[in-house]
C-alpha cells in the first residue's frame, strides 16, 4: 500500500507496509485505490453525458458516497468496500449506457474513453479485488512526483467537498452545478494535465468547495436555524447516555427525536459540538452537553463513556474491545465488527444505551461557548468595526483546522495562550479542543462584553469565517488580506485540503499551516504555493510567529 493523503502519514512521507498510521490495512487501501479508479471512470462517462444535457441522480449520489468513504478515518471495513465495488460495477454500466443513449438521441458518435475497451467487472472474490487494486497504487503512476502530488491534492479537495455535499444531501439540498464540476474534475484527473492546467484545476476545486460549503450552510441553517451564542455544559450529568460524534446534524436530530421521553441524555462529541448553537437542536432538553475532546482521544474517552456511541462521519479510530460493542456507525462510516445502522430506525443504539449503566452522578458544571456563525457575528458587525477603529480590538487570529495525535500540535495551544488581550481568536473545526476550555475573557467595548474566543463552528463553517472576513473587508474598504486578520491552520485530513484550496482560490495570502506541510506536495510545488500565496509553515516558536503576524 501507499497512502499519503493525511497529515499523520508515516515518517511524513507516506504509509506503506501492512497498515497505515490510522490503522487502515493494506487490503482496505488497495480496495480504496480500486474504488477511486472506477469512480473516476464513472465520472468520465457522467461528465460527457452531462455536457450533452442528461443526468442521473443515482450515479451522482454513488460518486459522492464512494469519495467520502475513502476519506481518512471514515471506513476501515473490507466487506463494505467490496459492496461499494459491486455497486460501482453497476453504476459504471449505467453511466456508460446513459452516455451511449444521449449520443444516440442526438445523432452523435460516442467518443469512448480508452478504458472502455476492457470494460471493468467487479470480481466477486475479495482477494482478487485486493490484487486488482494494487494496479492503481499512487506508486504505479507514470507521472512525475510533482504532478502526481498535485493530482492527488485535487482529488483530496474533491473528497473533502464530496463529504460536505453528502451532508447537504441528507438535509435535502443537492446542486446540479456542484455535481457537474465534481464529475468534470474527476474526468480531468485521468487526462494527464500539465502543471499549469493542474494548478488552475486546483483553484477551480477551491472555488467549487466554497459553493459547496455555501450549500451546506444553507442546508444546516434552513434545517436548524442560524446558530446563536450558546453555553454548552462539558460536565456529565447522572443518567443513561448516548454520545454522537462526527459532522452530520441530521443524525443528531434523529437521535434526539427518537430518545425524547426515554430518560436518555444525549451528548455531542468532536465536530458535533457546534450543533448546540442551532435553535432547532438546542430546544431538546435532553441534549445535555458535550463529552470529551477531539477525535484522537476517543479510545480513552469512549472506554470511560457509560453509554452507546454513534459515529456519523469521520473521525472514527479503531475501537478497543472495551467499547467496540457500544459503537454504531452511520452512512459511509464503517469498522469491522462494529454495528452499522442503515435505516433511520436507531433502536439498536438506543437499546444499547438503555442496557448500559449511564453516569451515576452529576459532575460539577463547567461550560464553554459556541454559536458564532456569520449571522451572529455580522449582527454585531458595527460594534466590531467600531472596536477595531477605536483600537479596542487590534487583531483577529483565525486558529482553525483539525486536531491530531502529534505533540507538536501543542503549538496551537501555546499560540492561543499568547494572543494579546486586545485580540480576538476565531476557531473552526476540531483543532479548537486544544484550548477551548481555557478562559480567554472578553473585550469590553461600548458597554458590551465581546468574548475573546468566538467559535464559528465545524470545518465546513469556514464558509461563515469567509463571509465574516469579506464583510469586514468591505466595511474597511480593503480586501481580506488588508484586514488585521491572520490565519493559522492546523490540517489533518482531506476536508482541510478542500478548505485550504478554497482560501487560496479566494486570494487569501500568508496563511500559516502546520504542524507540517502535506507529504503530497513536493518542494517545487511548495515553492509555487509560497511564491504565489505566501503560504508558510508554522515555526517551532509560537512567540516568534505571533510577533511577525502582529506586525501586519
Which stretches of the chain bind ligand SF3, using CB under 6 A?
A: 247, 270-271, 295, 314-315, 402, 429-430, 458-459, 492-493, 495-496
Contacts of 442 (CB under 8 A, 6+ apart): 449, 450, 451, 452
- Residue 287 burial by CB count (10 A; 0-12/13-18/19+): exposed, middle or buried? buried
3-state secondary structure of 290: strand
Do 280 and 215 meet the contact criterion of CB atoms below 8 Å apart? no
What is the C-alpha separation between 311 and 255, in angstroms, rounded?
12
What is the C-alpha separation between 481 and 469, in angstroms, rounded?
9
Site for ligand SF4 contains 6 (CB under 6 A): yes
CB of 261 to ligand SF4, least distance (A): 41
CB of 14 to ligand SF4, least distance (A): 7
CB of 333 to ligand SF3, least distance (A): 12
Do 336 and 248 meet the contact criterion of CB atoms below 8 Å apart? no
Site for ligand SF4 contains 63 (CB under 6 A): no
State the binding string over 373-412 for ligand SF4 (x if CB under 6 A, else -). ----------------------------------------
* Pick 239 or 401: Cβ nearer ligand SF3: 401
Q: Which stretch binds ligand SF4 (CB under 6 A): 16-24, 48-56, 89-97, 148-156?
A: 16-24
Site for ligand SF4 contains 470 (CB under 6 A): no
CB of 309 to ligand SF4, least distance (A): 21
Among 39, 47, 72, 331, binds ligand SF4 (CB under 6 A): 72
Rounded to 5, what percent of the chain is helix, strand, coil?
50, 15, 35
Q: Say if strands 512-514 and 442-445 run parallel, antiparallel, or are unpaired.
A: unpaired
Site for ligand SF4 contains 160 (CB under 6 A): no
Site for ligand SF4 contains 423 (CB under 6 A): no
Grid cell at residue 123: 470480481
What is the C-alpha separation between 509 and 505, in angstroms, rounded?
10
- Residue 257 burial by CB count (10 A; 0-12/13-18/19+): exposed, middle or buried? exposed
Site for ligand SF4 contains 24 (CB under 6 A): yes
3-state secondary structure of 95: helix
Binds 4, which of ligand SF3, ligand SF4, none (CB < 5 to 8 A, cut-off by type)? Answer: ligand SF4
Site for ligand SF4 contains 15 (CB under 6 A): yes
Binds 492, which of ligand SF3, ligand SF4, none (CB < 5 to 8 A, cut-off by type)? Answer: ligand SF3
Q: No. of H helices and E strands in the chain? A: 18, 16
CB of 519 to ligand SF4, least distance (A): 8
What is the C-alpha separation between 226 and 221, in angstroms, rounded?
5
Among 8, 66, 486, 490, binds ligand SF4 (CB under 6 A): 8
54 — phi, psi (to 5°)? -120, 155
Q: Where are the beta strands (DSSP E) in 248-302?
A: 264-269, 287-290
Q: Which stretch binds ligand SF4 (CB under 6 A): 2-10, 101-109, 202-210, 256-264?
A: 2-10
Sign of CA dihedral 375, 378, 384, 386: negative
Bridge partners, residue 470, by sequence: none
Grid cell at residue 308: 452507546
Binds 20, which of ligand SF4, ligand SF3, none (CB < 5 to 8 A, cut-off by type)? Answer: ligand SF4
What is the C-alpha separation between 435 and 415, in angstroms, rounded?
10
Site for ligand SF4 contains 68 (CB under 6 A): no
What are the Cα distances from residue 549, in Å, to 387, 390, 432? 20, 20, 20
Q: Which stretch binds ligand SF4 (CB under 6 A): 13-21, 60-68, 215-223, 246-254?
A: 13-21
Binds 3, which of ligand SF3, ligand SF4, none (CB < 5 to 8 A, cut-off by type)? Answer: ligand SF4
Binds 71, which of ligand SF3, ligand SF4, none (CB < 5 to 8 A, cut-off by type)? Answer: none
Tell which residue, 343, 346, 298, has the closest CA to residue 324: 298
Site for ligand SF4 contains 26 (CB under 6 A): no
What is the C-alpha separation between 58 and 38, in angstroms, rounded?
16
Among 11, 12, 20, 80, binds ligand SF4 (CB under 6 A): 20
Grid cell at residue 144: 512525475
- Residue 235 burial by CB count (10 A; 0-12/13-18/19+): exposed, middle or buried? middle
Binds 495, which of ligand SF4, ligand SF3, none (CB < 5 to 8 A, cut-off by type)? Answer: ligand SF3
What is the C-alpha separation between 408 and 52, in angstroms, rounded?
51
* Pick 158 or 215: Cβ nearer ligand SF4: 158
CB of 428 to ligand SF3, least distance (A): 8
**Residue closest to ligand SF4 when measured from CB atoms:** 20
* Pick 393 or 426: Cβ nearer ligand SF3: 426
What is the C-alpha separation between 74 and 69, in angstroms, rounded?
6
* Pick 72 or 245: Cβ nearer ligand SF4: 72
Site for ligand SF4 contains 265 (CB under 6 A): no
Site for ligand SF4 contains 5 (CB under 6 A): yes
Q: Which stretch binds ligand SF4 (CB under 6 A): 18-26, 122-130, 219-227, 463-471?
A: 18-26
CB of 163 to ligand SF3, least distance (A): 9
* Pick 56 or 245: Cβ nearer ligand SF3: 245
**Residue closest to ligand SF3 when measured from CB atoms:** 402
CB of 523 to ligand SF3, least distance (A): 25
What is the C-alpha separation between 365 and 211, in angstroms, rounded?
39
Please give the residue ranges that form the binding site for ligand SF4 (CB under 6 A): 3-6, 8-9, 15, 20-22, 24, 72
Amino acid at each position: 500500500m501507499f497512502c499519503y493523503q493525511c497529515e499523520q502519514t508515516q515518517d511524513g512521507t507516506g504509509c506503506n507496509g501492512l497498515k497505515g498510521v490510522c490503522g487502515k490495512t493494506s487490503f482496505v487501501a488497495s480496495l480504496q485505490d480500486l474504488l477511486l479508479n472506477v469512480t473516476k471512470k464513472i465520472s468520465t462517462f457522467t461528465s460527457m453525458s452531462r455536457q450533452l444535457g442528461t443526468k442521473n441522480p443515482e450515479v451522482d449520489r454513488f460518486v459522492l458516497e464512494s469519495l467520502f468513504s475513502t476519506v481518512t478515518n471514515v471506513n476501515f471495513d473490507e466487506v463494505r468496500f467490496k459492496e461499494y465495488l459491486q455497486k460501482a460495477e453497476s453504476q459504471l454500466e449505467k453511466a456508460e449506457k446513459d452516455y451511449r443513449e444521449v449520443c444516440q438521441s442526438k445523432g452523435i458518435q460516442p467518443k469512448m474513453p480508452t478504458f472502455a475497451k476492457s470494460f471493468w467487472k467487479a470480481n466477486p472474490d475479495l482477494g482478487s479485488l485486493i490484487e486488482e487494486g494494487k494496479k492503481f497504487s499512487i506508486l504505479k503512476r507514470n507521472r512525475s512526483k510533482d504532478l502526481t502530488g498535485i493530482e492527488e491534492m485535487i482529488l483530496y479537495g474533491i473528497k473533502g467537498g464530496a463529504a460536505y455535499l453528502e451532508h447537504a444531501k441528507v438535509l435535502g439540498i443537492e446542486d446540479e452545478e456542484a455535481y457537474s464540476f465534481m464529475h468534470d474534475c474527476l474526468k480531468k484527473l485521468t487526462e494527464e494535465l500539465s502543471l499549469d492546467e493542474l494548478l488552475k484545476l486546483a483553484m477551480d476545486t477551491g472555488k467549487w468547495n466554497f459553493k459547496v460549503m455555501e450549500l451546506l450552510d444553507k442546508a444546516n441553517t434552513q434545517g436548524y436555524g442560524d446558530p446563536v451564542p450558546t453555553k454548552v455544559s462539558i460536565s456529565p450529568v447522572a443518567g443513561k447516555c448516548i454520545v454522537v460524534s462526527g459532522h452530520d446534524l441530521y443524525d443528531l436530530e434523529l437521535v434526539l427525536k427518537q430518545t425524547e421521553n426515554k430518560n436518555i441524555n444525549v451528548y455531542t462529541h468532536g465536530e458535533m459540538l457546534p450543533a448546540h448553537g442551532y435553535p432547532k437542536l438546542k430546544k431538546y432538553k435532553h441534549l445535555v452537553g458535550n463529552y470529551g475532546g477531539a477525535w484522537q482521544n476517543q479510545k480513552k474517552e469512549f472506554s470511560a463513556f457509560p453509554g452507546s456511541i454513534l459515529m456519523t462521519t469521520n473521525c472514527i479510530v479503531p475501537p478497543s474491545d472495551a467499547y467496540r460493542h457500544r459503537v454504531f456507525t452511520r452512512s459511509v462510516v464503517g469498522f469491522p465488527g462494529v454495528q452499522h445502522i442503515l435505516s433511520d430506525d436507531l433502536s439498536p443504539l438506543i437499546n444499547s444505551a438503555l442496557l448500559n449503566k449511564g453516569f451515576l452522578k452529576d459532575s460539577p458544571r463547567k461550560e464553554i461557548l459556541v454559536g458564532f456563525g456569520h449571522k451572529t457575528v455580522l449582527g454585531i458587525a458595527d460594534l466590531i468595526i467600531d472596536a477595531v477603529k477605536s483600537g479596542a480590538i487590534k487583531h483577529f487570529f483565525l486558529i482553525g483546522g483539525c486536531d491530531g495525535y502529534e505533540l507538536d500540535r501543542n503549538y496551537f495551544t501555546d499560540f492561543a495562550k499568547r494572543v494579546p488581550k486586545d485580540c480576538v481568536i476565531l476557531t473552526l473545526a476540531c483543532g479548537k479542543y486544544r484550548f477551548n476550555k481555557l478562559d480567554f475573557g472578553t473585550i469590553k467595548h461600548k458597554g458590551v462584553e465581546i468574548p475573546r474566543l468566538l467559535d464559528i463552528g465545524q470545518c465546513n463553517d469556514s464558509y461563515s469565517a469567509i463571509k465574516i472576513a469579506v464583510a469586514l473587508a468591505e466595511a474597511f474598504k480593503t480586501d481580506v488580506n488588508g484586514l488585521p486578520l491572520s490565519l493559522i491552520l492546523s490540517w489533518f485530513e482531506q476536508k482541510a485540503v478542500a478548505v485550504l484550496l478554497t482560501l487560496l482560490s479566494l486570494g487569501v495570502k500568508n496563511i500559516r499551516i502546520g504542524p507540517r506541510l502535506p507529504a503530497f506536495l513536493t518542494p517545487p510545488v511548495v515553492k509555487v504555493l509560497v511564491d504565489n500565496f505566501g503560504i508558510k509553515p508554522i515555526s517551532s516558536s509560537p512567540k516568534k510567529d505571533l510577533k511577525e503576524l502582529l506586525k501586519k
